[in-house]
Amino acid sequence: MEFFHTLENLLQIPNPQDKIVSTKAFIERYRAGDIAFERSITPKVFNSPSYSNFLIIKKATELPKRRQLKSTKDKAYLLHSIAHIEYSAIDLALDHAYRFTDMPKAFYDDWIAVAEEEIAHFLMCEEILKRYGYRYGEFEVHSFLFDISMKNLTLIDRMAVVPRYLEAAGLDANPLIIRRLQNYKDEMAKEMIEALDIILRDEVDHVRKGDKWFKWACQREGIDSSKYLDIVSKTLPRAKDKKAYINVEARKKAGFSCDEIKRLGDVECSE
């Protein structure tokens, strides 16, 4: 089994169940050392996400905003959104490993491990959805994460924009979602909070891996890693806008300096 060609095939599997079964089998063989790294490959730029034939995709601005979480359907819609982020993150991690050839093996080890944890997150969310009468694919979604990833095809840009900016934003959003859910005492809200606690714990490590390889790439290219926000703002011009809430401790654990954190939001931070 060849590493990059197998990843290319995995990235294009449209059915979630098939993708997860095949990816788990690949990870098992990778860990057993039963995978060969090809000498050269030209990675594809994909025109659409793997789920484009399975999910109804809308622009993020066109999706409904549910202010309340009183009903089961409201919670299911929120959980479906989280599940979709986790499912998208499986492809993101696989694409990191697929797209950047001639990297240290530790790079591939890291992103294969992340893909495995994103699978666990997705399945956890999917199981809660099923318990309350819903399924993945029942609500409309956006493809923002995929679209942005295909615009950032250099290692520095990809690590800066995807794990270190977009996924790091999840470290800030997660506690806010938990606080909203804590206003509801039903069993579904409790299960969602437990799932979000697990996701937050693991996502700190995922962002830390992005931080490690961003700084590694900057050092290799002779680029000042403190220019992080300048790099991100080429793709996301509003990246330099101050955020209303920053999860300071989570971001510090994920590799952010206090100087960076203070530039992201008006917060107190000490090394």
Six-digit token pair at 42?
Answer: 């030209």
Would you state the pLDDT for residue 66? 76
Q: Provide the pLDDT confidence category of residue 211 given band limits of 50, 70 and 90.
A: very high
Mean pLDDT of 148-176: 97
Task: Report yes or no on 120 lying in a domain.
Answer: yes
**Residue 250, Cα to own-chain centre: how many angstroms?**
16
Task: Report yes or no on 185 lying in a domain.
Answer: yes
- CA separation (Å) from 61 to 172, 173, 193? 20, 18, 26
Q: Give the C-alpha separation, 126 to 190, whole Å.
A: 15
Six-digit token pair at 5?
Answer: 């060609």
pLDDT tens for 122-148 read: 999 999 999 999 999 999 999 999 999
Task: Report yes or no on 148 lying in a domain.
Answer: yes
Task: Report yes or no on 83 lying in a domain.
Answer: yes
Q: Give the C-alpha separation, 165 to 153, whole Å.
A: 15
The three-point CA angle 249-119-58 to 5° equals: 90
Q: Give the C-alpha separation, 149 to 98, whole Å.
A: 13
* Residue 245 clears pLDDT 80, i.e. is over it: yes
pLDDT tens for 71-84 read: 999 999 999 999 99
Would you state the pLDDT for residue 231? 97
Q: Provide the pLDDT confidence category of residue 271 given band limits of 50, 70 and 90.
A: confident
CA proximity to 12, closest of 84, 94, 85: 94
222: how many CB neighbours lie within 10 A of its CB?
6
Report the sign of the C-alpha dihedral through residues 209, 214, 220, 222, in that order.
negative
Domain count of the chain? 1
Task: Report yes or no on 86 lying in a domain.
Answer: yes
pTM of the model: 0.96
Q: Provide the pLDDT confidence category of residue 204 given band limits of 50, 70 and 90.
A: very high
The three-point CA angle 189-194-200 to 5° equals: 120
Would you state the pLDDT for residue 267? 93
Would you state the pLDDT for residue 220? 97
Task: Report yes or no on 18 lying in a domain.
Answer: no
CA proximity to 11, closest of 196, 197, 149: 149
- Quote the crossing angle between the two packed helices 105-131 and 187-221, to the nearest 10°: 160
Q: Give the C-alpha separation, 18 to 25, whole Å.
A: 11
Query: In which domain, by residue range, is 256 found?
Result: 59-264
Task: Report yes or no on 270 lying in a domain.
Answer: no
CATH label of the domain that carries residue 63: 1.20.1260.10
